[in-house]
Amino acid sequence: MLQGKDRFIPISTGEEIRKTMSDPTSEFGQQAAPYMDRGDYIPDELALSLFHSILEPLDPQSRVVLDGFPRTVPQGEQFVKWLERQHHQLLGCAFLDIDTEVAAQRMRDRLVCPDCRKTFPTVAGLPAGERCADCGGCLIPREDDDPVRMRQRILRHREQTLPLRQWFRDRHGWVELDANRETADLRMELVDRFNL
């Protein structure tokens, strides 16, 4: 949502996990696959190892937007400790509050490139069969967006991510936004609320 806004680097944890799963030589991908295949969160230790592998090589001056990390209180605790050790600043946390049915519909409508694993959200408005702008692959519905796995992800969100909501609310520049709205409106509010 903030891509292209003053050196922001968007990092989607789910997209990164799916990239590793598409690589048959990736040990991480093999470990993550059983959890992702049934719609579960990957364990905290796997999520943290992925986080470190992505962020530690970046330029310390990079401005990063994390999508999907942290997802649990233990991940949040380790994330904040890492920020302190690295002398990085956390600008804030945005919780995108969305109606369950709206979220489910958006998940059903989004597409993925099976070659590079990039996800194209509903707001992109692309039809299945369109070509990926990054690699030219043929876009298809995401294989993990079936009703069973969507219900499992929503359950995990309630069990593991909602407690994180309260944890961050008590500590770090917390903002809650109504994500039932259009992406452009959300982006404007994020920029305004965090003075970006």
- Domains and their CATH numbers in the chain: 8-107+147-193 (3.40.50.300)
Local confidence band at 72 (pLDDT 50, 70, 90 cut-offs): very high
pLDDT at 153: 81
Q: Which of 101, 96, 90, 74 lies closest to 163, judged by CA?
A: 74
Q: pTM score, two decimals?
A: 0.78
Q: Please give the C-alpha separations between residue 164 and each of 11, 60, 75, 161, 173, in angstroms, as whole numbers.
A: 19, 26, 9, 5, 13
User: In this structure, are strands 174-178 and 119-120 parallel, antiparallel, or unpaired?
Assistant: unpaired
DSSP 79-126: HHHHHHHHT-----EEEEE--HHHHHHHHHH-EE-TTT--EE-GGG-P
Beta bridge partners of residue 141, listed in sequence order: 111
What six digits make up the tokens of 123?
């707001």
Specify whether the CB–CB gap between 136 and 41 falls below 8 A.
no
Task: Express each pLDDT in 78-89 by its tens digit.
Answer: 999 998 998 888
For residue 24, say if its preceding peptide bond is cis, omega within 30 degrees of 0.
Answer: no
Q: From CA 65, how far away is CA 10, in angstroms rounded?
A: 5
pLDDT of residue 1: 47
Tell me what the pLDDT averaged over the chain comes to.
83
Q: Is the pLDDT of residue 57 over 60?
A: yes
CA distance 71 to 51: 12
